[in-house]
């Protein structure tokens, strides 16, 4: 191809025209802050871990939990809490291991795969937390319904007015819980989609490009 | 640490042309060129402890430089997205793209700038006289795929130039 030969020739000759940075300028550059996507994924992931840990601590100190403890349901609350912390430690370990494996000296495809794997770990952690949160809400509502004296009194009153009303009451409780879970899940998922979607759009498209080439041949 | 830093700066100063050339392909203006140059320098420095010297420093630079441009670099917000090549990026040979001087070359560079990130990586290594084995090893694809893609790039460029 003539054009490519022309380009190659110009490429070789024009390379002499680049500016020369002196040692002082290079020294300055190496200590500047990086804006690589890996750094951003790391920061966002740390914030995610912090966010979910903070949520669990806030819940732990809340009056609602104190009230729950008075119901004598430790056999449910403690396993849930232990599971939550165990999963946090597990995911953090995997995330850190994946993150440490990311190196710009790998080939392009491997580098992309490692970044996506790190991201996937955090994604799994988020999914786990959403599921965990929904299960906790269901258990919380169930405990309140069966142990809270105010709810019990209300149920007795409703029952005295007719059996059908109790069913309506339960349906309202279930409906409100589902709507609350759906809203929280949608907001969080939308937030993640936006952040990671923007951050990884280019990487995903380039990775797809490399993968397509592999599957074609 | 000081000695490693000193060695690195010396090596980078010697081979800085490679970084400039990568920036030239992946950016369209001088601000973006400077941004990417800075990011590649940071990534090279971060990866330097892993440079074992079993390959040439320049070969290692190709890999880190391309990885930064294709995968790690987050485009600066101030960067203006444009397909035109602004003749302001330092004192590169952009002046030579003057219509009267070399219209054909200008068109070729514009066509190259329109290629996607992976294609730019392949053509960059091709322009740097790397063989298909080296291209495939840098990008993590097979040698056959590198060849196939290079042929497609040639066709793509030809179609663009003839349209």
- Check residue A15 and give its pLDDT: 74
Residue A33, SS3?
A: coil
Residue-wise pLDDT for A36-56, tens only, equals 888 888 888 888 888 878 887
- Residue B40 buriedness (CB in 10 A; 0-12 / 13-18 / 19+): buried
Is B67 part of the contact surface with chain A (CB cutoff 8 Å)? Answer: yes
- Please report, for the domain that includes residue B110, its CATH number: 1.10.10.10
* Res B87 pLDDT > 70: no
pLDDT, chain B, mean: 84
Same domain, B59 and B117: no
Indicate the number of domains in chain B.
2
A115-135: average pLDDT: 89
In a domain, B107, yes or no: yes
- Check residue B90 and give its pLDDT: 43
Burial annotation B45-84 (CB, 10 A radius, 16+ → b, else e): bbbbeebeeeeebeebbbbbbbbbbbbbbbebeeeeeeee
Same domain, B1 and B34: yes
Interface test with B, best of A16, A29, A217 (most B CBs within 10 A): A29
Domain boundary (B75, B99, B125) is at B75
* Res B96 pLDDT > 70: no
* Res B91 pLDDT > 70: no
Structure tokens at B125: 């290594």
Measured between alpha carbons, how far is B19 from A14 in angstroms, rounded to an integer? Answer: 14
Residue-wise pLDDT for A139-148, tens only, equals 888 888 888 8
For residues B57 and B15, the answer to whether their CB atoms sit within 8 Å is yes
- Among partner residues B16, B139, B144, which is closest to A217 by beta-carbon distance? B144
Same domain, B54 and B97: no
Q: Where are the domains of chain A?
A: 35-203
Locate the chain A residue with the closest alpha carbon to B18. Answer: A15
- Among partner residues B51, B92, B127, which is closest to A18 by beta-carbon distance? B92
Selected residue with higher pLDDT from B79 and B19? B19
Same domain, B71 and B1: yes
A62-69: average pLDDT: 70
Between helix A163-216 and helix B117-127 the angle, nearest 10°, is 20
In a domain, B80, yes or no: no
Same domain, B28 and B60: yes
Same domain, B55 and B2: yes
Question: Is A15's CB within 8 Å of B96's CB?
Answer: no
- Among partner residues A6, A36, A209, which is closest to B116 by beta-carbon distance? A209
Is B157 part of the contact surface with chain A (CB cutoff 8 Å)? Answer: yes
Q: Domain containing B144: what range?
A: 91-163
Same domain, B110 and B71: no
């Amino acid at each position: 191809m003539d054009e490519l030969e022309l380009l190659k020739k110009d490429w070789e000759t024009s390379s002499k025209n680049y500016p020369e940075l002196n040692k002082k300028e290079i020294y300055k550059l190496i200590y500047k802050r990086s804006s690589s996507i890996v750094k951003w994924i790391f920061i966002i992931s740390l914030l995610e871990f912090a966010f979910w840990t903070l949520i669990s601590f806030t819940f732990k100190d809340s009056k609602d939990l104190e009230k729950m403890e008075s119901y004598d349901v430790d056999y449910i609350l403690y396993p849930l809490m232990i599971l939550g912390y165990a999963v946090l430690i597990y995911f953090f370990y995997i995330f850190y291991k994946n993150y440490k494996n990311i190196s710009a000296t790998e080939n392009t495809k491997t580098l992309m795969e490692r970044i996506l794997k790190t991201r996937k770990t955090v994604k799994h952690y988020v999914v786990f937390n959403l599921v965990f949160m929904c299960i906790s809400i269901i258990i919380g509502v169930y405990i309140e319904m069966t142990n809270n004296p105010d709810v019990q009194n209300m149920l007795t009153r409703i029952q005295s007015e007719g059996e059908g009303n109790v069913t309506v009451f339960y349906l309202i409780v279930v409906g409100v819980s589902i709507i609350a879970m759906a809203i929280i899940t949608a907001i969080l998922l939308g937030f993640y989609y936006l952040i990671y979607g923007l951050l990884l759009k280019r990487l995903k498209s380039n990775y797809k490009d490399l993968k397509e080439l592999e599957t074609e041949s | 640490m000081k000695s490693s830093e000193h060695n690195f700066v010396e090596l980078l100063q010697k081979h800085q042309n490679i970084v400039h050339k990568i920036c030239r392909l992946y950016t369209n203006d001088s601000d973006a060129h400077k941004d990417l140059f800075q990011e590649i320098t940071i990534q090279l420095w971060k990866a330097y402890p892993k440079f074992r010297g079993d390959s040439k420093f320049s070969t290692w630079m190709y890999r880190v430089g391309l990885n930064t441009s294709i995968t790690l670099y987050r485009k600066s917000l101030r960067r203006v997205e444009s397909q035109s090549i602004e003749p302001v990026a330092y004192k590169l040979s952009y002046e030579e793209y003057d219509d009267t001087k070399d219209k054909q070359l200008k068109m070729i560079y514009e066509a190259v700038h329109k290629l996607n990130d992976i294609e730019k990586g392949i053509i960059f290594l091709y322009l740097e006289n790397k063989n298909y084995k080296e291209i495939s090893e840098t990008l993590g694809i097979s040698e056959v795929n590198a060849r196939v893609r290079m042929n497609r790039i040639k066709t793509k460029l030809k179609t663009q130039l003839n349209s």
